Amino acid sequence: MSRFVYYLILTNMLAIIMSPIPRLLLLRAGDGALSGMIVGIIGGALFTYVTVSFFLKYPGQDLIELLTKYTSSWIQIPVTLYFAFMWFIAGTITLIMTVFLLITFLTPVMSIYIISLSILITIFFGVLLKTKSILFTLEILCVLMIPVTVLMFFKMFTSHELDFDQVRLAVMHIKSIPDFTAFNASTFTFMGSANLIIFNKYFKEKQNISKWSIICITLASIFMLINSYLVPIGFTGFDEIDQLMFPWTSSADSVRMKFGFIERVVFIFMFLFVTISFISIIIHWHVAYKLLSSIFRLKSLQIKQQNFTPLLISFIFCAVGLWLTVSFTQYQLYEYSKYYYNILPIFAGVLFLTMLAIRKGATS
Amino acid sequence: MKKGRKVILFFFLLVFSSFTILSGCSYKGVDKRSFVVGIGIDPGEGIEKKFKVTLKIAKPIPSLKSATENEYAYLVHESDSVAEAIRYLATEADKVFDFSQAKILALNPELLSGDLFHLMDYFVRRGDIQLLLYVIAAKPSAEEVLRVQPTLEAAGENSLYNFFDNTGTESPFVTTTFLFEFRRDYDTKGLSAVLPIVKGDGGGTKFIVNHALVLKHGHEAVELNLLETKLYNSLKKGESGYGYQINSAGYKFTLTIDRIKMKSKFELKNGQKPRVAIKIKAVGSVNESNKLLQLRELDHYNKISEDKLAEQVTILFKDLQEKNMDPFGFGLKYRATRLHTDKVLDDWKAIYPDLEFDVKVEVKLKSVGAIQ
């Protein structure tokens, strides 16, 4: 497996901290969250295995090419539109959550328009980058950020104030029936591999997926889920955990480096995770944009050799993102993102069916 | 110029001209902020005035060299809610309040019984107040404690910070409670929160931090004395240091403890009283003695210390049990060691009043110091 596949999966895992997932999990704490997560980990590992091994069979080809080659257009267009929608929403959820976090913890007096615009201007151009450049950006960010992130996680896990009795208390609730939302939310941790539907174009060599890579990915996601579920419980207590709006960030605020150059670790965390959520939004929207531009290419925007449809798509993404960020309340964000995660099984089903259709077309 | 380029250029011009409608960052410079270093809350005196809020604000000094001592400004207002009082105080100051540096939240003990929800809500709800601030119970009042100006305080320093979290002084008498910890422990069923008591003394020139206050929802607060506070800090928080007095069998010596650790295990058998076996392990040395000590007698000194410590600890546990307080978190431990059912919490409520403590202390003195 190319190292870029790992980066794609890893970024998606890290970005769940900047998504509503920690809160959705913790809302069901003591009510099937933990067992849901365990089932979700198994489901997610299977999902990763199926998706990655499928795309490794078609090196250098993305889903758009495969669809046009092996299926008819009545499958291609609805499937592409549906995937574009799913990816766009995934990026939008991260965007709205990031803005809400910034406005709550860093700049409570700043206007929401200015915060979202300052993010969206970068993303506007980020989305339009070449797919390859995005992969390189991703690599640079991973190399720069992940060591610091690991150090910060280490600080968090070794903190004196982390109460292990609270964590144990949470683990004691393992016997309840798996919760559906918790299951879906934890499968989402693995869904970075689905980005291959576009990025597979750049993995041209024939590669294999080994048992070990799946084990490593599973371990990493278990770590991230523990991090987003058990660590907030250890810092803020099991009984009242559902009261926190941003449980993970509040827990990061409880960690400190007493004699470090910055005492409040939360600022370093914010910096790291805003960066990670930037790249995560760019990846998600880039996939959505590629999918859309494979269907739409407006003739009226053709000026000499240059076609401006990509600019238009990216602009529409940013405009819709801004509108949603400004108009959504926190309640709506959590409620609607819950619906989004709950339709993920349908998404996985559609993806698998498409793969089957392609395979059938390829063999016949 | 090609037409395509012109369009791109036009587009960029459009984007850049749109920047002019932005008002710029609303970020205010340091000179336009006043940094709140401490927040104090007392009961209000007027009618319908629930709280009296005191803000301690750092006065900017041009440089550390030119400053001889610290100067703070204090703003006080009474109101029915904390947020309202702070909003009112904002009209008394010319600069915007910055709470991100606040590290002290002083609460008057009179406010600490009954329901704390209304009192504490503001500090957790506001995201920019750090959850890492030290919560203290201030005697005689929060305002007086904030107004204390210690003689030893250097310019640019806030000496109250140094007491906590082993930043400056290291003592087993000082309890450190962060805001997030206080909230967590207070809300957890089967655990009581503990706050350090800070006394302002010496006509406003001195702090004394060596007592603690145990709090539980719906109960009267219980004050821990000097010895109890020390035992709590050692056993629960693993604080070590000087000052373990052993006065028994004709010996009178003071121990320094390097490491101390407590483990507990429940033994619940049908037909017997519920018991908790507590094992305490302490490693240290002798610091002061009333007579010469023999190295070969270390085992004997261990034994004396063990008996004395076990006695003190058992008295403390029983005392807290009588008052239905649980700062050591036996209830949480109980809940955390069995699979969850709806009955666990009720079971614990029935068990705790009858619980027997079986304390075993193991002291390991490594030396008697530099002389015999």
User: What does pTM read for this prediction?
Assistant: 0.85
- Is cis: bond before B62, omega within 30 of 0? no
Please check the confidence at residue B19 and state whether its pLDDT lies above 80: no
Please check the confidence at residue B323 and state whether its pLDDT lies above 60: yes
Q: Of A69-73, A233-237, B114-118, B147-151, which range is least confident? A: B114-118
Position B338 in a domain: yes
Q: Of A105-114, A131-140, B226-235, B312-321, which range is least confident? A: A105-114
Please check the confidence at residue A167 and state whether its pLDDT lies above 60: yes
- Segment A184-221, tens digit of pLDDT: 999 999 999 999 999 988 888 887 888 898 999 999 99
Token digits for B123? Answer: 């500090």
CATH of the domain at B298: 3.30.300.210
CB-CB contact of B266 with A165 (8 Å): no
Residues B98 and B210 in one domain: yes
At A12 the pLDDT is: 92
The minimal CB distance from A253 to the residues B26, B130, B339 is found for: B130
CB-CB contact of B176 with B194 (8 Å): no
Please check the confidence at residue B265 and state whether its pLDDT lies above 70: yes
- Is cis: bond before B140, omega within 30 of 0? yes
Residues B188 and B268 in one domain: no
C-alpha distance from A303 to closest chain B C-alpha (Å): 6
Residue A286: alpha-carbon gap to chain centroid: 13
Which positions in chain B touch A110 (Cβ < 8 Å)? 25-27
Average pLDDT for residues A270-299, to the nearest whole number? 90
At A287 the pLDDT is: 94
Rg (CA), chain B: 27
Instruction: Give dist(CA A274, CA A262) in Å, integer.
Output: 18
Residues B242 and B299 in one domain: yes
Minimum CA–CA partner of A249 in chain B: B127
Residue A264: strand pairing partners: A256
A139 — pLDDT class (breaks 50, 70, 90): very high
DSSP, collapsed to helix, strand or coil, labels residue B293 as coil
Instruction: Give dist(CA B283, CA B279) in Å, integer.
Output: 13
For CA atoms A215, A220, A221, A223, give the dihedral sign: positive
CB contact under 8 A, A109 and B26: yes
| Residues spanned by the domain of B243 | 225-372
DSSP, collapsed to helix, strand or coil, labels residue B39 as strand
Residues B64 and B126 in one domain: yes
B1 — pLDDT class (breaks 50, 70, 90): low
Residue A120 vs residues A239, A290, B132: alpha-carbon distances, Å: 38, 18, 32
Please check the confidence at residue B73 and state whether its pLDDT lies above 80: yes
Domain count, chain B: 2
Report the complex ipTM. 0.82
Residues B246 and B192 in one domain: no
Please check the confidence at residue B204 and state whether its pLDDT lies above 90: no
Residue B261: strand pairing partners: B281
Residues B128 and B66 in one domain: yes
The CA-to-CA distance between both ends of chain A, in Å, stands at 28
Instruction: Give dist(CA B240, CA B343) in Å, integer.
Output: 38
Which positions in chain A touch B126 (Cβ < 8 Å)? 108
Instruction: Give dist(CA A203, CA B209) in Å, integer.
Output: 64
Which ranges of A102-159 would DSSP assign to H, the alpha helix?
112-127, 131-157
Please check the confidence at residue B24 and state whether its pLDDT lies above 70: no
At B41 the pLDDT is: 92
Instruction: Give dist(CA B368, CA A237) in Å, integer.
Output: 42
CB-CB contact of B129 with B123 (8 Å): yes
A193: phi then psi, degrees, rounded to nearest 5: -65, -25
Position B6 in a domain: no
Token digits for A243? Answer: 């009261």
Query: Of all residues in chain B, what percent carry a pLDDT higher than 70?
Result: 94
- Segment A8-40, tens digit of pLDDT: 999 999 999 889 999 999 988 878 899 999 999
A259 — pLDDT class (breaks 50, 70, 90): confident
Report the relative pairing of strands B241-248 and B251-267 from DSSP bridges.
antiparallel
* Average pLDDT value over all residues in chain B: 85
> Domain ends where: B172, B202, B224?
B224
The minimal CB distance from B131 to the residues A173, A174, A250 is found for: A250
Report the relative pairing of strands B134-139 and B193-201 from DSSP bridges.
parallel
Domain ranges within chain A, ordered by starting residue: 3-363
A116 — pLDDT class (breaks 50, 70, 90): very high
Token look-up 């999990």 returns A25
Fold of A3-363: Amino acid/polyamine transporter I (1.20.1740)
DSSP annotation of A262: S
C-alpha distance from B368 to closest chain A C-alpha (Å): 31
CB contact under 8 A, A304 and B339: no
Average pLDDT for residues B45-57, to the nearest whole number? 87
